[in-house]
């Protein structure tokens, strides 16, 4: 969600969320949701020849792939629990692509559907012309890409024809865009009643905020999450881990899709999933809800159990300016820590607050400042006390824990990606395939759908693909 919108100079961090592309999409009127928050410009649609379906396959049936010999992924992986599931992904930037990344890692055949203009501009985030950003490569591996101009009638017809052989559609435009393009849930389900159609947005398809622009920061702020993050007496703290985008737009969407797929396989009927990133952020504040319900208020940031209000759950600086994370919430861990650092007198101050808590934290800070971070890591090795070093990402990429679990992929830093975070017994994830070039698999996918070479050539000449 942090990529610059079309037309914004490189390096700008905010994106427009209007869903409009300067090349293919006209600015809508206010009644059409001007100022809305879709993160990607819809591929276009104007009148043109409509392709006929010659695939002979029933709706929902998985289709085999035919390789182009490009040295990149050709069709779905033959392994993985989602093998045979085809996903048409209209989304861009972060939330939707992360959702489909997880599904692709589990074997789904994810086809990015990009417009014939700029496509997914996450490709160019922070890199020179002709290069592909690590950001894009990391969240679009194991996918294929086609480009379609959905403003042309022929492009719309192709998409709906592909829906007949798919199980899932994912989109992240502002509410109403896909319906105006003629590729919304109603149209898709009329072609394939079992289709699972997932719409990801900032505030949802309904409600007074549905057409508002927004970013991760805005969703967290409105949900009440941002107010709780930070140090005592300071302003709300920002994070470069997009909580709402990833929790709401990525993981919540993937969870909903999998649930709807199970139902669709049992009943033959799909669902339209309305996934709002703000909702997911709002609905996961269980600890804060407990406080509000029990005491009538949520403690001010920096003063509660989990934001630094007690000695046993805090970040302390070591002697070299590096930090140690102390999470000794259970008495046994706190007692082990106090014994290991030679301060058994602090056992009774585990949950001290107010002046006593401040004094206990000062005592601990004085202790930890006596050694470097690395020295404390060695001193506490083997002590069961929930203390870990605060590492940089570069250090974490080299850490034995992540390396041993295959969480770091690639031989060099330039090639580095994160491995799948879920392990399946008896299964090995295959080596990831590179992220696709824009429209790299257009011809391949159309051949799979039964298009003849002359039709494909004609569609290309018309700028439909």
Catalytic residue (choose from 215, 216, 274, 279): 215
Q: Find the angle CA(209)-CA(40)-CA(449) to the nearest 5 degrees.
A: 125
Catalytic residue (choose from 89, 109, 216, 245): 245
**CA pseudo-torsion sign 227, 232, 235, 239:** negative
Distance CA(31)–CA(34), nearest Å, equals: 7
**CA pseudo-torsion sign 274, 277, 283, 286:** positive
Distance CA(205)–CA(176), nearest Å, equals: 8
Among all chains, which residue has been given the structure tokens 């709706």?
59
**CA pseudo-torsion sign 225, 231, 237, 243:** negative
- Ranges assigned E (strand) in 174-281: 196-201, 272-276
Is residue 216 annotated as part of the catalytic site, yes or no? no
Q: State both tokens at 173.
A: 């435009």
Collapsing DSSP to helix, strand or coil, 121 comes out as helix
Q: Helices 253-267 and 95-105 meet at what angle, rounded to 10?
A: 50
Buried b (16+ CB within 10 A) or exposed e, 450-460: bbeeebbebbb
Among all chains, which residue has been given the structure tokens 């403690």?
299
Is residue 345 annotated as part of the catalytic site, yes or no? no
Q: How far is CA 260 from CA 104, 254, 255, 272, 420, in A?
A: 17, 10, 9, 9, 22
First to last CA, the chain: 26
Count of residues for the chain?
Answer: 465
DSSP string, 6-27: TTSPTT------S---TTT-PP
Phi first, then psi, for residue 335 (nearest 5°) are -65, -40
Distance CA(78)–CA(95), nearest Å, equals: 26
What single-letter DSSP state applies at residue 307? T
Q: Which residues contact 71 (CB under 8 A, 6 or more apart)?
A: none
Phi first, then psi, for residue 231 (nearest 5°) are -95, 160
Catalytic residues: 215, 245
């Amino acid at each position: 969600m942090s990529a610059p919108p079309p037309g914004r100079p490189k390096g700008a961090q905010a994106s427009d969320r209007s869903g409009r592309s300067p090349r293919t999409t006209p600015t809508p009127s206010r009644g059409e949701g001007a100022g809305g928050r879709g993160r990607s410009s819809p591929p276009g649609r104007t009148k043109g020849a409509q392709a006929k379906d010659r695939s002979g396959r029933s709706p929902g049936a998985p289709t085999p792939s035919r390789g182009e010999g490009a040295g990149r992924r050709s069709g779905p992986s033959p392994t993985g629990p989602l093998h045979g599931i085809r996903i048409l992904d209209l989304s861009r930037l972060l939330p939707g692509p992360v959702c489909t990344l997880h599904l692709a890692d589990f074997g789904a055949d994810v086809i990015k559907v990009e417009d014939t203009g700029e496509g997914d501009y996450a490709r160019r985030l922070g890199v020179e012309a002709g290069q592909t950003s690590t950001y894009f490569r990391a969240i679009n591996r194991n996918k294929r890409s086609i480009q379609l101009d959905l403003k042309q009638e022929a492009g719309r017809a192709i998409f709906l024809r592909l829906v007949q052989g798919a199980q899932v559609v994912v989109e992240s435009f502002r509410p109403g865009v896909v319906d105006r393009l003629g590729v919304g849930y109603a149209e898709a389900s009329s072609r394939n009643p079992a289709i699972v159609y997932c719409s990801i947005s900032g505030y949802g398809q309904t409600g007074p905020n549905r057409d508002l622009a927004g970013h991760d920061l805005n969703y967290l702020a409105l949900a009440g999450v941002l107010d709780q993050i930070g140090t005592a007496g300071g302003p709300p703290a920002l994070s470069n881990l997009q909580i709402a985008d990833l929790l709401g737009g990525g993981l919540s969407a993937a969870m909903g899709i999998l649930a709807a797929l199970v139902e669709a396989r049992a009943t033959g009927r799909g669902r339209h999933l309305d996934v709002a990133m703000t909702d997911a952020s709002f609905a996961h504040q269980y600890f804060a809800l407990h406080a509000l319900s029990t005491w009538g208020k949520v403690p001010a940031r920096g003063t509660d159990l989990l934001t630094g209000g007690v000695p046993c759950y805090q970040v302390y600086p070591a002697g070299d300016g590096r930090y140690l994370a102390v999470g000794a919430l259970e008495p046994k861990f706190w007692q082990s820590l106090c014994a290991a650092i030679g301060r058994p007198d602090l056992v009774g101050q585990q949950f001290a607050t107010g002046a006593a808590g401040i004094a206990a934290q000062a005592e601990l800070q004085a202790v930890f400042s006596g050694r470097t971070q690395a020295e404390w890591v060695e001193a506490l090795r083997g002590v069961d006390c929930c203390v870990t070093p605060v590492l940089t990402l570069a250090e974490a990429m080299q850490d034995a824990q992540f390396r041993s679990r295959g969480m770091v992929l690639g031989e060099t830093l330039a090639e580095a990606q994160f491995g799948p975070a879920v392990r399946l017994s008896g299964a090995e994830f295959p080596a990831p395939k590179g992220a696709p070039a824009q429209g790299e698999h257009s011809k391949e996918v159309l051949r799979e759908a039964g298009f003849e070479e002359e039709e494909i050539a004609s569609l290309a000449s018309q700028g439909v693909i």
